[in-house]
Amino acid sequence: MENLVWYFISLCLSIFIYWFILPSRWRSLFLLLMSLLFVSLFNFKYVLYFLLHMILVYSAGLYLDKGEKKKRLILTFILLWLIGNLCFFKYSELFLSAIVESGFGFSWMPKITVPTLLLPLGMSYIIFRLIHFVVEVYKKKNPKCSFIDFGLYVLFFPTFLAGPVERFKPFHTQTMEMKAPDLSSINQGLFRILLGVAKKFVVADTLARWIIPALHTPESHPRFLVLLFVYGTAIQIYLDFSGYTDMALGVSRLFGYKIMENFNRPFFQRNVAQFWRNWHISVYSWIRDYFFFPFFGYRASTLKIYVGIFMTMIVFMLWHKGNLNFLLLGIYHGLGLVVWQLFQEMKRKYPSIRKWSLRPYVHSIATFFTFNFVSISFLLFYLDLPHLYAVLDRIF
Amino acid sequence: MKEKIKHFIIENFLFSERGLKDDEPLFESGIIDSLGLIKLIAFIEEKFNVSIDMSEIMIENFNTVNDIMETLKSRMNPS
């Protein structure tokens, strides 16, 4: 609680200095320094680590913008370096643990304890922003910018911890065109922060305290109640994550930045493809643009595209967390998306199916089915497989 | 050209009798998804005998019928 109070006081002071004390040309630098300070509060080593990557990527960007030779090689190196770092911190412990626990090895080998690697906080999002920046510079799509403006985009503290992963161009445009504060933006920012606080700390945390323990003992509750717990889990995850997003967007707004939305009524979507287009929008669209299209989407056969859709969901889920549950989530939703695409093909081929699918009552059924399809899978956020099976067994 | 593109979108994605506006956002409204974009590009390349570069495969180049026409014209008349 004390930390929150200090954060609130610091935020108010920063906003005052940002808008009313500093000349406008110093605002980017001030925000960047605030962001570096924010990162250093978690661990000062993170600051050095991220600065190193920023210098590397920005320097590469300068060369890719002007240089002639070996551009593809430099881009490839930078991408492999960034992805390699991310995978190292996110997944090496998982692989090492799997090897050690499998017992693979010789009897004379000493028992080893897998060290816990401290994943730099916000790293997943930072790496995505760095990759986006350097690829767009390579494609000559990014405007020129100073290191300060680039650094601000990468480390912007309201979105540092949990996104959204804004694209560089709209962010930089706002940096360049930053005007005086207007009351409407401040109001919207404050409202968004309050909404986020209510969603996350009031509703989501309360639901979590109540539902998650209950899900571990489904046999103790009536079947209908367990089903409500399943729905409640999906709603809790949505409120938790979107609450963070609301706070991030609200604080961004107080500094004059309108950041992209991350959620758009996902539980009201009619099919699983539309659901994922409206859930964690910034990361899903990033993986679509920088993984699916480049590797699977260019002049691809139908089979390759379906494999691409499947793999994209696996990558998307493993990006969240590198463990069995999220791998299963990726497989589940990958298959769901492929099945949905096959249904789309059937609609193209058979007018009767197409006609049926356009009926209003079908839309309602489809929305309800999609919600159930997603809700069941979201149990994997909190339950291991035996507990998941127990819940499903209780319901069905 | 525009009518052929609109007809393709209506027949393959909209599945509806209603018309399609030239400035209707195809992706935001959920009419077309990522796979749909690939199919649309394949159709454009085959129908109009143009080649769309991989660097141009972005939502903003195909987000509305107007955007598609602009992209198509730039491929047909490269400056």
Q: Where are the domains of chain A?
A: 2-180, 186-395
Residue A275 has pLDDT above 60, yes or no: yes
Residue B2 has pLDDT above 70, yes or no: yes
CA distance B71 to chain A (A): 15
CA distance A316 to A326: 9
Using a CB–CB cutoff of 8 Å, tell me whether B57 touches chain A. yes
CB of A287 closer than 8 Å to CB of A279: no
B8 to chain A: nearest residue by CA?
A348
- What count of Cα atoms within 13 Å lies in the side-chain half-sphere of residue A8? 9
Nearest to A348 among B12, B38, B54 (CB): B12
Using a CB–CB cutoff of 8 Å, tell me whether B61 touches chain A. no
Among A37-41, A74-78, A177-181, A389-393, the range scoring the smallest mean pLDDT is A177-181
Rounded percentage of chain B residues whose pLDDT exceeds 70: 91
CA distance B63 to chain A (A): 14
CA distance A275 to chain B (A): 10
Average pLDDT, chain A: 89
Look up the ipTM and state it.
0.78
Rounded percentage of chain A residues whose pLDDT exceeds 70: 93
Q: Which residue has the tokens 């090492």?
A: A96
CA distance B34 to chain A (A): 7
Buried b (16+ CB within 10 A) or exposed e, B51-68: ebeeeebebebbbbbebb
pLDDT top residue among A98 and A54: A54
Would you state the pLDDT for residue A102?
Answer: 61
Would you state the pLDDT for residue A181?
Answer: 79
Per DSSP (E only), the strands in chain A are none
Residue A105 has pLDDT above 60, yes or no: no
Are B35 and A288 an interchain contact pair (Cβ–Cβ within 8 Å)? no
A278 to chain B: nearest residue by CA?
B28
Q: Which residue has the tokens 């999609």?
A: A370
Residue A259 CB contacts under 8 Å (≥ 6 apart), including other chains? A158, A159, A164, A166, A171, A248, A249, A252
Are A354 and B30 an interchain contact pair (Cβ–Cβ within 8 Å)? no
Residue A95 has pLDDT above 80, yes or no: no
Nearest to B33 among A277, A289, A299 (CB): A277
* pLDDT tens for each residue of A32-57: 999 999 988 888 888 999 999 999 99
Q: How confident is the model at residue A69 (pLDDT cuts 50, 70, 90)?
A: confident
- Spell out the SS3 assignment of chain A: CHHHHHHHHHHHHHHHHHHHHCCHHHHHHHHHHHHHHHHHHHCHHHHHHHHHHHHHHHHHHHHHHHCCCCHHHHHHHHHHHHHHHHHHHHHHHHHHHHHHHHCCCCCCCCCCCCCCCCCCCCHHHHHHHHHHHHHHHHCCCCCCCCHHHHHHHHHCHHHCCCCCCCCHHHHHHHHHCCCCCCHHHHHHHHHHHHHHHHHHHHHHHHHHHHHHHHHCCHHHCCHHHHHHHHHHHHHHHHHHHHHHHHHHHHHHHHCCCCCCCCECCHHHCCCHHHHHHCECHHHHHHHHHHHHHHHHCCCCCHHHHHHHHHHHHHHHHHHHCCCHHHHHHHHHHHHHHHHHHHHHHHHHHCHHHHHHHCCHHHHHHHHHHHHHHHHHHHHHHCCCHHHHHHHHHHHC
Are B12 and A354 an interchain contact pair (Cβ–Cβ within 8 Å)? no
**Which segment, A387-391, B42-46, B56-60, is predicted with the most confidence on average?**
A387-391
Chain B, residues 1-30, CB within 8 A of chain A, namely 11-12, 15-16, 27, 30
Show residues of chain A in contact with B55, CB under 8 Å: 139
A308 to chain B: nearest residue by CA?
B35
Q: Per the structure block, which two tokens stand in for A278?
A: 């409206």
Residue A148 has pLDDT above 90, yes or no: yes
The residues with which A327 forms a beta bridge, in sequence order, are none
Are A273 and B33 an interchain contact pair (Cβ–Cβ within 8 Å)? yes
Nearest to B35 among A139, A274, A341 (CB): A341
B38 to chain A: nearest residue by CA?
A297
